[in-house]
A and B are shown apart, each in its own frame.
Chain A
Amino acid sequence: MDSATVFRADGVGKTYPGVRANDDVSFEIAKGEIHALLGENGAGKSTLVKMIYGLVRPDDGHMTLLDRPHEPSDPRAARAAGVAMVFQHFSLFDALTVAENIALGMENPPPRRELADRITKVSHEFGLPLNPARRVVTLSAGERQRVEIIRCLLQNPRLLIMDEPTSVLTPQEAELLFATLRKLAAQGTAILYISHKLEEIRAHCDRATILRHGRVVDSCNPRDHSANQLAAMMVGGEMRAVDRSGRNAGETLLDLRDLSLPAPTAEGVALKSVSLSLRAGEILGIGGVAGNGQEELLAALSGEMPSTPGTLSVEGADLSQAGPAARRRAGLLAAPEDRLGHAAVPDFSLTENTLLTAGDRKSLVRRGLIDHDAARDFAQAVIATFDVRTPGPGTAAKALSGGNLQKFVIGREVLQDPRVLVVNQPTWGVDAGAAAAVRQSLLDLARSGAGVIVISQDLDEILELSDRFCALNEGRLSDPVPTEGLTLERIGLMLGGAHGMEEARI
């Protein structure tokens, strides 16, 4: 092994009951290298990094860190060996202060005052200023990540693992993160970087190892390949370009007239005189920076927030005052953004979760009793049609990875043959392969004559899917414009004035 290699895995494997999560995984990371780990949801990336960080023990194979065997029995041993990790879901303690959070991530933290000084110093050095006395609960997502990163940096790690660090960051925050990573790499730290954002990987990573079904299928320099080629390596086959053909706008299905609603919570946004009409076979894209009324608009459409009579009608029937169940019966279905907790009950099985929205339309409930066979069959149909990777319909929703649960949540609505489907952030945190499948299913649904509203912050997604585009800005919806020939600059102007952040977003 040459001395420039920091970490090496040789034939590492791990089996969970019913799943071979990793099989014969071998790769190495050089000193000062930003190494990307690519793969679809469920390809085994998380298991692999958990083994490196000592959270999970490999069944076979061995790992080497700095020429010494790396067999951490727990994360503290891994940290002592020089491995640090920034988690996908922050491993922070809300009620504790920044300094306390950082102390918990260190083996031998210095006394409180000294630690506070070091946090202030290191955080300014890397351009990530932090106040050590702040409570984590008061920090933004970007600031929380800084806490995790500073926690790692204070230990002078030789190998830094980052699990999807940019999924919660604004573009500016992501740029700041990459500047930090480059600084670290220049100092000789090896960085293992996991992300779904292929463009980001192409721009910032030196090497990429690609996992598929738990095995290493390829290794390359991501700069030599296009994002499409990388995605093809991940899924093992060409990426299907989405097929937009064969759709004709028909009669008006959904009509919103001057819908206004007060903000539901202190942090919420009021909807101000929202009007739109959606025709059969049409996909309407609604874009905007997060927190401009997306959730409120979805709640107003799904029936969670009823509105004044006459403001919302589906195929001529006034549903303004109807609740979610009545709207579903009328064919207006919705899939909210928050998969766990809003779209699905985490502790319920997939079968039980299908009952929650499909009970009426698929006649899964008879005379007040649940028809378990029918519910299971329907859940099974969703799993099969949408390629949801799970042991079966009896699995709890929370046990599914984000992308798989998203496919399930969207599939559950699509297979109910809605007249109108409203989705919010349909491919958030979903890998390229699954995202393409979800988008295609929405296009297929529209082709079959339904109307679809896609609320998304991903403007590329909106341009790819929708026929018309509206901008949502502080609870106001702009007039729709056709997406045909629409440029990102034009969209930027439509979103304009929201938070002064649109340019970076585009």
Chain B
Amino acid sequence: MIDPLSVFLLLLSASTPILFAALGELVVERAGVLNLGVEGMMITGALAGFAVAHATGNPFAGFVAAAVAGAAISTLFAALTQAFLANQVASGLALTLFGLGLAAMFGKPFEGVKAPPMPAGPLGINWIVWLGLLAVPAIWWFLTRSRRGLILRGVGENHEAAHALGYDVRLTRLAAIAFGGAMAGIGGAFISIATVLQWTEGMTAGAGWIALAIVVFSNWTAVGVLAGAWLFGGVTVLQLRLQAAGVNVPVQLLSMAPYLATIIVLVLISGRQKYSRRAGAAAPGSLGQNFHALR
């Protein structure tokens, strides 16, 4: 009745938007910035990607546009928090509201339009899904093995010390925020271009918030993000299958399941997390704090 391979393929697809957004936010948070605007950046990417894909007929051009749009709107957050030292939580929430509103306004003409078809990649799996899977080891390598990644982690762990050693805290964070925006944009565009194949207002449906939760759940590691995204994607696919199979459970409960599962796992895991600092995998020391250098 439920074929494991097809479920896994669907899982890959269902988890991709969150995987992209969460990997981006992982890098942002490792640099010590808490950007709660993931949802706003995703929906911006979803609309911009869909619009360009529709206009050019090329879905890949759409993804590039989504990355650019996500990065562009994230610079607004970057300007507020890094240049004007605004509160990161408030600025991030504002970014989400702004992105949702902006996309709803500019998205009106695209309602009811169909997305251009997307060519399948190797093994019949979408190219963007492959890109997301490749991004996991790439980001792991960047964070744990590369010089730039080490500086980025240093900035996130103790920005005062990083500054004292002569690293540009603000520039590092700007780059991280823009990267996070681009990744969230791609994640959003995957929903509109590759999954739903049309534009609907508010179509990201809280995926950005789940991505934020998954970063915490992952203990700020790339592999953990993959696990979290697959958990969410897996439960999503399962509940859709159960709905289709006509199981006698209210649809509302089933739709709730992926979110509920993510939250429950998050709670269970975070109970242990305060001890994991010694092992090095835990919240970056300067997360959410603004940095101001006295010269």
User: Which residues from chain A sit less than 8 Å from chain B, CB to CB?
Assistant: 54-57, 74-79, 87, 90-97, 100, 103-105, 109, 112, 135, 137-138
Closest to B161 in A: A91
B: contact size bracket: 20 to 34
B221 to chain A, nearest CB (A): 12
Q: Out of A77, A96, A135, which one reaches B279, CB within 8 Å?
A: A135
Closest to B163 in A: A55
Q: Say whether B150 faces chain A, with CB atoms less than 8 Å apart.
A: yes
Contact A105 B165 (CB under 8 A): yes
Q: With A75-B166, A94-B158, A137-B278 given, can you name 16 additional A-B contacts, CB distance below 8 Å?
A: A57-B295, A75-B164, A87-B164, A90-B161, A92-B161, A93-B158, A94-B285, A95-B284, A96-B150, A96-B154, A96-B157, A104-B150, A104-B151, A104-B162, A112-B145, A138-B278
B92 to chain A, nearest CB (A): 22
Residues of A within 8 A of B284 (CB): 95
Contact A54 B154 (CB under 8 A): no
Contact B158 A135 (CB under 8 A): no
B214 to chain A, nearest CB (A): 20
Residues of A within 8 A of B157 (CB): 93-96
Closest to A97 in B: B280
- Can you list 27 pairs linking A and B with CB atoms under 8 Å apart? A54-B166, A56-B295, A57-B295, A75-B165, A78-B166, A87-B164, A90-B161, A91-B158, A91-B164, A91-B165, A92-B161, A93-B157, A93-B158, A93-B161, A94-B158, A94-B277, A95-B280, A96-B153, A96-B280, A100-B150, A103-B147, A104-B150, A104-B151, A104-B167, A105-B165, A112-B145, A135-B278
Compute how far the CA of A325 lies from the CA of B145 in the bound complex, rounded to whole angstroms: 53
Residues of B within 8 A of A100 (CB): 150, 153-154
Contact A74 B166 (CB under 8 A): yes
Compute how far the CA of A78 lies from the CA of B165 in the bound complex, rounded to whole angstroms: 10
Closest to B164 in A: A91
Closest to A89 in B: B160
Residues of B within 8 A of A79 (CB): 166
Contact B277 A137 (CB under 8 A): yes
A-B pairs, 9 with minimum CB distance? A75-B166, A91-B161, A76-B166, A93-B157, A74-B166, A91-B164, A104-B154, A93-B158, A95-B280
Closest to B160 in A: A91
Among A55, A95, A109: residue with most chain B CB under 10 A: A95
Compute how far the CA of A74 lies from the CA of B166 in the bound complex, rounded to whole angstroms: 6
Q: Say whether B229 faces chain A, with CB atoms less than 8 Å apart.
A: no
Known contacts A104-B154, A109-B147, A137-B278; A95/B285 CB under 8 A: yes
User: Which residues from chain B sit less than 8 Å from chain A, CB to CB?
Assistant: 145, 147, 150-151, 153-154, 157-158, 160-162, 164-167, 277-282, 284-285, 295
A49 to chain B, nearest CB (A): 11
Compute how far the CA of A140 lies from the CA of B153 in the bound complex, rounded to whole angstroms: 22
Residues of A within 8 A of B158 (CB): 91-94
Residues of B within 8 A of A54 (CB): 166
A76 to chain B, nearest CB (A): 4
Residues of A within 8 A of B167 (CB): 104
Residues of B within 8 A of A91 (CB): 158, 160-161, 164-165
Closest to B157 in A: A93
A348 to chain B, nearest CB (A): 18
Residues of B within 8 A of A90 (CB): 161
Compute how far the CA of A137 lies from the CA of B166 in the bound complex, rounded to whole angstroms: 22
Residues of B within 8 A of A92 (CB): 158, 161
Compute how far the CA of A77 lies from the CA of B145 in the bound complex, rounded to whole angstroms: 25
Residues of A within 8 A of B150 (CB): 96, 100, 103-104
Compute how far the CA of A428 lies from the CA of B213 in the bound complex, rounded to whole angstroms: 43
Closest to A75 in B: B166
Contact B154 A93 (CB under 8 A): yes
Residues of A within 8 A of B154 (CB): 93, 96, 100, 104
Residues of A within 8 A of B277 (CB): 94-95, 137
Compute how far the CA of A87 lies from the CA of B161 in the bound complex, rounded to whole angstroms: 9
Closest to A105 in B: B165
Compute how far the CA of A75 lies from the CA of B168 in the bound complex, rounded to whole angstroms: 11
Residues of B within 8 A of A55 (CB): 164
Closest to B158 in A: A93
